[in-house]
Amino acid sequence: MRREMGQALKVKETVLHLIQELLNDQKVFTEQELKAAVELLARGMCDMVNVYTNTMEDHETVLKGTIVKVKIANNIVKGVSKTIVK
């Protein structure tokens, strides 16, 4: 259970970084970038609900997958976006 808590907190930390990137006024995102990021975040949310409701047997594997999905979404937003130069 302790390991699962650590993994859940890692998901939260990565999502908070992603939110900071999205709120950065200096960045412009394409529709395709946002769509890919939202899909991964939605899938991650489904994973978290499955863990919370205990509908998945292997919580550790599900949480590892969730961390990967959130990190990929974060990389999409962080790395592919274009900075506006004024």
The model's pTM is 0.78
pLDDT digits (tens, 9 = 90+) for 32-47: 988 999 999 999 999 9
Closest to 18 measured CA to CA, from 79, 60, 78, 69: 78
Amino acid at 7: Q
Domain ranges of the chain: 2-83
Q: Give the span between the Cα atoms of 67 and 42, in whole angstroms.
A: 13
pLDDT per residue over 46-84, tens digit each?
Answer: 999 998 898 988 888 999 999 999 999 998 888 754 544
Q: How many angstroms separate the CA atoms of 7 and 33, rounded?
A: 26
Residue 28, strand partner residues: 82
CB neighbour class for 1 (10 Å; exposed up to 12, middle 13-18, buried from 19): exposed
Distance separating alpha carbons of residues 34 and 50, to the nearest angstrom: 24
